[in-house]
Amino acid sequence: MKLLRSLAPLVLIVALIVGMGIVTTAQMSESVLHAAHDAEWTGLDPHVASTVSSFHVLANVVESLTTNNDSLELTPLLATDWSQSEDGATWTFNLREGVMFSNGVEMTSEHVVFSMNRILDPDTGSGRVASVGGAGTVWEAMGDYSVTVTTPEPNAILPILLSSRATAVVHPDSVDENGVIVVPIGTGPFTVEDLDGTISMTLAKNENYWQEGLPLLDAVEITVIQEDAAREAALIGGEVDFVTSVGRQAVAALQENPDVTVLVSPALAYKYIGLNLMREPYDDVRVRQAIAYAINRDDLCAAGDFGLCTPLYGGPIDTASPWHFDYAPYSQNIEKAKALMAEAGYADGFDMELMPTSTYQDTVRQAQVLQAQLAAIGIRTTINAPEWAEWLELEGNFRYDGYICSWNGLIDVEQYYYLQHRTDEVFNFTGYSDPAFDALVEEGRTISDFDERYAIYEQANQILVDAVPYVYFYNPAFVRAMSPSVQGYVLRPDNNNLYMNTWLEG
């Protein structure tokens, strides 16, 4: 809860920047928001999707049992309350009555059990098995409006894990004959219409939505504009009302434009390079540590996000978080990096391919800076910057030396460590494996006391930082921009893109 309290004033400031006021019927009539998203969604199956671009849409269509409000406090959503058994192995969630799917069918416990079992089913290929209790978990309907969850081991943080839209409750008719969800039937404030591949869609108001009076918009027409300059020009020219991202080099100029409102929020996110431990020489921890010592994070921050960021010299968590750990050994030290390279047998260096993505130009700029920095210790780099879909395929199949990316939406400490670093987890794309680390992050899931969890994750963090499967660069900021007519939008540190309370003024 310390993290939630520390971020609440920042979120409130962001909300006030947008402007809150009395919404009249006239203001809301025929209100269609034209939004430009910065990247193509990679699928709309909430149980399988793994990209921010997908969840920027899905957050408006599907809902989970719990959620984090705009102050990032854990609150009820489709569940009204929950309790844990004395032995810690069983949770009971009571469901909200009268919640309708967009197809007009009332949500019941059977729909919850169906959705969670679909995530647990290996054939689904979901990366969120751990978020619904883990393999061997049993979800059971107890009447129409209650479910029980029995986990193989006590799980103290299940309600936190279930706040992700990746654990959404969907109607079974969402799933086609191949077991795939192309367009989900959810309980959220909008439905997907006029879907054109991965480049445009309309989010239409869900007339069956259970929260009275919401959403305030009739529709959100979404177009993908990947190039920063083109997206910003569309906003300035009035072609769109709202953009999900702004090129950091343009922030200052847009802030001076009276026809544009710019929101900046601290980000629960980190940017990094992931190293392929399945390949030589990255399987040698001395090489990975040499890379960590070779880089100048201030230069990476300046190039990637034009200074809107905080460098990281150890683990992934910013100093503003109560989950921050002080262990930070990797200030730039070229001589130490060279010594480690020589000790590993690479005094003359080696060839390396850096893999940013052209879809996110900050990663390309970071790669260009890394190219110069790594040359100082003899690493000769080339840059391969595929588009997002190809990049994901290469990453997912370990066909890279070092990939450059970010990880978003991190509120609880578990979300920084478990899914990307535990052995064989679906989002572990470096091949990192350490039984001691695994045991600690698994133990951390069984404990609710903050101080006890902190001590456990502090140990896990040091093991991870010393092993360096990731070299962390910095914590960024999130930036959105919009027409002054756009009201009520809240830019959240977890990057949850919600249109439900947004309206157009005038």
Same domain, 175 and 283: no
The token pair at 217 is 């918009």
If asked whether residues 351 and 463 sit together in one domain, one would say yes
Q: Do residues 288 and 162 both lie within one domain?
A: no
* Mean pLDDT, residues 78-88: 97
In this prediction, residue 426 carries a pLDDT of 87
Residue 229, pLDDT above cutoff 80: yes
Token readout for 436 is: 């001691």
The answer to whether residue 242 sits within a structural domain is no
pLDDT for 330: 98
pLDDT digits (tens, 9 = 90+) for 98-150: 999 999 999 999 999 999 999 999 999 999 999 999 999 999 999 999 999 99
Instruction: For residues 281 and 158, state if they share a domain.
Output: no
Q: For residues 162 and 148, what is the distance between their CA atoms, to the nearest angstrom?
A: 13
- pLDDT for residue 309: 95
Give yes or no: residues 56 and 172 share one domain: yes
Residue 10 pLDDT > 50: no
Are residues 436 and 374 part of one domain? yes
Q: How far apart are CA 312 and CA 330, in angstroms?
A: 9
- Confidence band (pLDDT; 50, 70, 90) for 194? very high
Residue 158 within a domain: yes
Share of the chain above pLDDT 90, in %: 91
How far, in Å, CA of 19 to CA of 33, rounded?
16
* Tens of pLDDT, residues 22-75: 444 444 457 999 999 999 999 999 999 999 999 999 999 999 999 999 999 999
222 has pLDDT over 90: yes
Average pLDDT over residues 462-488: 98
Instruction: Return the half-sphere exposure (C-beta side, CA atoms, 13 A cut-off) of residue 317.
Output: 25
For the chain, what is the mean pLDDT? Answer: 94
Q: Are residues 369 and 413 in the same domain?
A: yes
Q: Is 196 helix (H, G, I), strand (E, B) or coil?
A: strand
Whether residue 496 is contained in a domain is answered as yes
| Residue 62 near residue 118 (C-beta atoms within 8 A) | no
Contact present, 156 and 447 (Cβ < 8 Å): yes
Q: In what order do the strands lie in the sheet containing 79-84?
A: 79-84, 90-95, 146-150, 138-141
Say yes or no: 447 and 433 in one domain: yes
pLDDT at residue 16 in the model = 39
Q: Is the pLDDT of residue 376 over 60?
A: yes
Let me know how long the chain is.
Answer: 506
pLDDT of res. 11 = 41
Q: Per-residue pLDDT for 14 more than 60?
A: no
- Note the Cα 5 to chain centre separation in Å: 20
Task: Detail the DSSP E strand segments found in 77-199.
Answer: 79-84, 90-95, 138-141, 146-150, 190-196
User: For the chain, how many structural domains are there in total?
Assistant: 2
Q: Are 205 and 189 in contact (CB under 8 A)?
A: yes
Q: In terms of domains, do 363 and 490 share one?
A: no
Together in a domain, 298 and 319? yes
- pLDDT value at 12 more than 90: no
Residue 244 in tokens: 């999900």
Q: Which amino acid is at 26?
A: A
Q: Residue 232's pLDDT band (boundaries 50, 70, 90)?
A: very high
Per DSSP, the residues of 27-65 read: HHTT-EEEEEESS--S---TTT--SHHHHHHHTTT-B-S
* Residue 169: CATH number of its domain: 3.90.76.10
Residue 372 banded pLDDT, cuts 50, 70, 90: very high
Asked if residue 212 belongs to a domain, the reply is no
Task: Please state, in angstroms and rounded to a whole number, the distance separating the CA atoms of residues 182 and 193.
Answer: 12
Alpha helix ranges (H) inside 314-360 = 334-343
Instruction: Give the separation between CA 249 and CA 322, rounded to whole angstroms.
Output: 31
- pLDDT at residue 13 above 60? no
- Residue 275 belongs to some domain of the structure: yes
| DSSP string of 460-488, one letter each residue | HHHHHHHH-SEEEEEEEEEEEEE-TTEES
Question: In this structure, what CATH number is given to the domain that contains residue 376?
Answer: 3.10.105.10
Q: Is 470 in contact with 273 (CB distance < 8 Å)? A: yes
- At residue 72, what are phi and psi to the nearest 5 degrees? 70, 20
The mean pLDDT of 281-293, rounded to a whole number, is 99
User: Average of pLDDT values for 474-478?
Assistant: 96
312 and 436 together in one domain: yes
Q: Span 289-306, mean pLDDT?
A: 98
pLDDT of residue 311: 97
pLDDT at 409: 74
More confident residue, 327 or 6: 327
Higher-confidence position of 335 and 448: 335
For 86-138, give the secondary structure using H, E and C. Answer: CCCCEEEEEECCCCECCCCCECCHHHHHHHHHHHHCHHHCCCCHHHHCCCCCE
**Is 80 exceeded by the pLDDT of residue 247?**
yes
276/409 same-domain check: yes
The domain in which residue 373 lies consists of: 270-477
**What whole-number percentage of the chain has pLDDT above 70?**
94
Count CB atoms within 10 A of the CB of residue 362: 24
By DSSP bridging, strand 146-150 and strand 90-95 are: antiparallel
In a domain, 17, yes or no: yes
**Domain presence at residue 229:** no
Q: Is residue 121 part of a domain?
A: yes
